[in-house]
């Protein structure tokens, strides 16, 4: 623990530069943070950086919204497919040939 408070000058500078870089990260890097935040808890500065970025970047805000909407839609459709009472009328179906082939296999 103690060693953390005894950083040399160059280490402080490195740390500061790292934080500066995070706070100035472009959209390409911010989207990586946004994605990774779905899987793990980000370090404090990285989290702060992408949250600040989202405050002023409407394109990245849309990126987040789109992925969330897609996730919600995919989980909903998967849930519906698991529930026979909610069968949707549209969507791809087994072809007649595949259906016949499977039927034959099941009889055998």
Q: 77 to each of 16, 71, 80, 93, how far by Cα in Å?
A: 46, 10, 5, 15
**Is residue 27 at the binding interface for another protein, with CB under 8 A as the rule?**
yes
Structure tokens at 11: 């280490």
Gap between the terminal Cα atoms of the chain: 69
Residue 2 C-beta: closest distance to another protein, Å: 30
Q: Enumerate residues 66-105 that contact another protein by CB under 8 A.
A: 66-67, 69-78, 81-84, 87-88, 90-95, 98-99, 101-103, 105
Which one, of 63, 88, 93, lies nearest residue 76 by Cα?
A: 88
Which residue's CB is nearer to another protein, number 14 or number 103?
103
**Is residue 28 at the binding interface for another protein, with CB under 8 A as the rule?**
yes
Structure tokens at 57: 């970047």
Which residues of this protein are in contact with another protein, per CB under 8 A? 25-29, 31-32, 35-36, 38-40, 59-60, 62-63, 66-67, 69-78, 81-84, 87-88, 90-95, 98-99, 101-103, 105-107
């Amino acid at each position: 623990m103690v060693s953390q408070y005894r950083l040399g000058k160059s280490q402080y500078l490195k740390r500061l530069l790292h934080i500066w870089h995070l706070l100035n990260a472009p959209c390409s890097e911010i989207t990586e943070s946004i994605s990774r935040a779905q899987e793990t808890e980000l370090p404090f500065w990285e989290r702060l950086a992408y949250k600040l970025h989202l405050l002023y970047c409407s394109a990245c805000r849309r990126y987040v919204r789109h992925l969330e909407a897609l996730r919600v839609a995919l989980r909903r459709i998967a849930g519906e497919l698991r529930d026979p009472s909610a069968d949707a009328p549209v969507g791809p179906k087994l072809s007649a040939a595949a259906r016949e082939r499977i039927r034959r296999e099941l009889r055998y």
